[in-house]
Amino acid sequence: MSNKRVAVAGATGVVGRELIRMLEERNYPLSSLKLLASERSAGQELTFKGETLKVETLREDSFKDVDVALFSAGGGTSKHFAPFAAKDGCVVVDNSSAWRMDPEVPLVVPEVNPGDIAKHKGIIANPNCSTIQMVVVLKPLHDAAKIRRVVVSTYQAVSGAGKAALQELDDQMHAVLAGEEPACSVFHYPMAFNVVPAIPHKNPFEANGYTTEEMKMVNETKKIMGDDSIKVTATTVRVPVRTGHSEAVNIETEQKLTAAQARELLAKAPGVTVMDDPANNVYPTPMHAAGRQTTYVGRIREDLSLDNGLDLWIVSDNLLKGAALNAVEIAELL
């Protein structure tokens, strides 16, 4: 790979900081790094490989000297600025939902559909965090036995909702333990010691009763896997965990796969670590997954209610493989 001129848009956010860390940890071959954010965050200083970099204001002309831009600045920001970057010859890897279902924009998980990158026209979409960790595990099983149906329930960390959400969780924890009423601004209901639907603050539910987060998993799975015949239903839930999404996934396959066969396939799968010895209390948890660049799968067992069914427990760091790591891996493939 030749050295690239790289920009990170949304550099001061939770995912933005992880993007910078992944570029450093994976020694991405760059010749320069530009950090961009809103005017409110401009002027902040962040470090990269021991060097202090000042955050600049994100503008329409910020990408004239940039080869690859990693966006994590929200859907509206991406919708406005990504086309300007692409017009200036920069390739955008966008972490928001703005471009994911655009038929002209590839939606990529490198372990699943790396070839789709070649179809880009200046913008590549990074999938939803919950979708990424699920399809990394499903891909080898689909290739071996063809998945007919997926039923997924998520247990999503608060960091997926951003810095303000994490602060709100901390504040609410302190309030509840002090016997006080927890204040809510990011979430509709208290997050501390509670379980709530994983929904955005605005327009959370669609006409069909599913949340927008649930429909992301339904639609993105089909697009990434390249198979519209896969039936997907999802229930997405936010739990009071800081980092690391967990998922209970049930699949029905066309051909029979035993639990042993599934373990063997997944042990060879890129980006996947099998952690499955329940007799010795070995199974993945979000606390274990936090900070690690892999997707864990455990509790692999055959569905007692279905001839060709498997149950899986999938856990990954939502800020890494669910966001920053996947984006940097896309940039590496570029």
**What residues act catalytically?**
129, 245
State CA 60 to chain mean position distance.
26
Evaluated on CA atoms 279, 280, 283, 287, the torsion sign reads positive
Chain mean position to CA 302:
27
CB 83 within 8 A of CB 59: no
Is the Cβ–Cβ distance between 71 and 78 less than 8 Å?
Answer: yes
Token pair for 31:
């010749």
Give every CB contact of residue 282 below 8 A, 6+ residues apart in sequence: 275, 276, 298
Strand runs labelled E in the chain? 4-9, 30-37, 45-48, 51-54, 56-57, 68-71, 91-94, 123-125, 147-156, 196-197, 231-238, 245-253, 272-274, 295-302, 309-316
Contact partners, residue 185, CB within 8 Å, separation at least 6: 164, 168
Query: What gap in Å lies between CA 257 and CA 312, rounded to an integer?
Result: 13
Query: Contact at 8 Å (CB) between 115 and 227?
Result: no
Please tell me the number of Cα atoms within 13 Å of 269 on its side-chain side: 30
- CA geometry: angle 260, 261, 267, nearest 5 deg: 90
